[in-house]
Structure 1
């Protein structure tokens, strides 16, 4: 049984790498935010608006416990998922957790190009977003760094580099993947 769980700040490429790894390994891919939206029939932004961040985090935890029980899957978590409740301990008990680590400037450039509405970044100027990313990383990295593996994803800005990241991740997880077969 394989469970690969991707963690990291928003914009680190969890969904991009998860999709690419899914195609490469032939395993289903679940983005936790998409799963929540599908199950709750609301966007993450709508959930934040209707139940607040605390209410969203409770929903997220419940949905995490559903998805992380699936077998032979790749799961990408929301950027804050590992930082609430006992989520990080739970994730480490469920499979191979991988922190996709990127510098704040890289995260900012990815978020700037992204088309997804990020509730935590709404109504912020570019300088405020940059500061917010740095502050949030200081708070969240102690959780992210508890992942079983860490993968540098600073250079994942085109298709070829994404494929290199997939190969690097497979190499990083080689023992884990072979042990779980």
Structure 2
């Protein structure tokens, strides 16, 4: 049984590294937000609009308890997931938790590169976004640091860097070293 749960701030690379790690070790990958949207048949923004953050966090809690009990899984969690209820303690009981730690500059760059629109970036000046990232990190860091492993993430802007991170993460988790198709 292999359960790997990735946590960290949005833009840290949880989905990017999670997909690559899962593929390298031939186990299923789940993004908790995608799972919630699929099960609820609504987008995260729709859930927030209809039920508020408290309602969303209750749904997130329940869905986390479903996915984190799959026998084989690499799970990417939303940036706030570990910060509510007893989620981080539960994740630590269920599997190998990894905090993907990135500097505010790396997070900002990843968020700018990302394909998915982020409410945080919507019509804000770069300095305001960077300030928001730094303040969020200060609030969330105590929860993130409870993960069993901390893995520093650098810019993930090409396949070579992603594959190198997967190799390093595999070593950290004592997994067999993956081979990548060229």
TM-score by length of 2: 0.92
**3-state SS in 2 of match to 1:26:** coil
> 1:31–1:76: 8 Å Cα contact kept in structure 2?
yes
- Alpha-carbon offset, residue 124 of structure 1: 3.1
Q: Which residue of 1 aligns with 2:31?
A: 31
Q: How far did residue 122 of structure 1 move?
A: 3.7
1:121 Cα offset (Å): 4.4
Q: Distance in 1 between matches of 2:2 and 2:118?
A: 30
Name the CA distance, whole Å, in 1 between partners of 2:52 and 2:119: 11
Deviation at 1:112, TM superposition (A): 1.3
Are positions 1:61 and 2:67 aligned together? Answer: no
Q: Which residue of 2 aligns with 1:152?
A: 152
Check conservation: 1:32, 1:76, Cα contact below 8 A: yes
Instruction: Kindly indicate whether the alpha-carbon contact (under 8 Å) linking 1:3 and 1:73 is maintained by their aligned counterparts in 2.
Output: yes
- 2:167 paired residue number: 167
Corresponding position of 1:128? 128
How much is the aligned-residue C-alpha RMSD, in angstroms?
A: 1.3
C-alpha displacement at 1:154, in angstroms?
Answer: 1.5
Distance 2:33 2:9 in 1: 13
Structure 2 SS opposite 1:5: strand
Higher helix share: 1
